[in-house]
Amino acid sequence: MEDLEMSKWSLVTKGFIKDNPTFVLVLGMCPTLATTTSAMNGLEMGLATLFVLVLSNIAISLIAPVVPDKVHIPVYIVVIATFVTVLQLLMQAFVPSVYATLGLFIPLIVVNCIVLGRAEAYANSHNALDSALDGLGIGIGFTMSLTVIGIIREILGSGSVFGWKFIPGDGILAFVMAPGAFMVLGYLMVLFNKYLRHS
């Protein structure tokens, strides 16, 4: 029993470090680079992806046994797109301010390779509970990575964290724009892999 609980727990935690989607699997780079201009944006994008990932993993693990191999990709994409559209409508209706900043990137979750990647690599051959936990773990890992990148870019680029300004002045503009995203991501990847190899 304890072993079983341990393995469930490790299903979730493996997404944090060992199979971290951003720094280890290197998936979903488009939203990672585009939405992390501030800590808040990174966090919100991560949570939105987490929501879709968990639900699509559950749905796909349930329907996978009856979906013929030839059409499994189109079916998965339809399922994922449905959840993304549901999320988009809900956000528009109940948190319009969040939608105003992230609206452009929400439809992109459909083609985020993390979501399809987990469907293909995990959900279609595991049960609903394990798939949900896998989605949760990978989603949390993705959210943490995006938030960390967002925090670093916001400190360097705007002198603030989560909108709280503690360094007066304009900051280093490059970090708010695309080049900064690549630099921060690159250096974090170096640190991450260095740490992983030593442990």
Chain residues that interact with other proteins, rule: CB under 8 A: 37-38, 63, 66-68, 70-71, 74-75, 78-79, 81-82, 85-86, 89-90, 92-94, 96, 104, 157-158, 170-171, 173, 176-177
Shortest reach from residue 8's CB to other proteins, in Å: 29
Give backbone dihedrals phi and psi of 28, rounded to 5 degrees, phi first. 65, 40
User: With respect to other proteins, which residue has the nearer C-beta, 27 or 52?
Assistant: 52
Cα three-residue angle 139-113-38, rounded to 5 degrees: 55
Shortest reach from residue 65's CB to other proteins, in Å: 11
Shortest reach from residue 11's CB to other proteins, in Å: 27
Which one, of 131, 130, 124, 129, lies nearest residue 69 by Cα?
Answer: 124
Shortest reach from residue 2's CB to other proteins, in Å: 39
Which residues, 6 or more positions from 120, have their beta carbon under 8 angstroms from its beta carbon?
A: 76
User: With respect to other proteins, which residue has the nearer C-beta, 139 or 157?
Assistant: 157
CA atoms in the 13 A half-sphere facing the CB of 111: 6
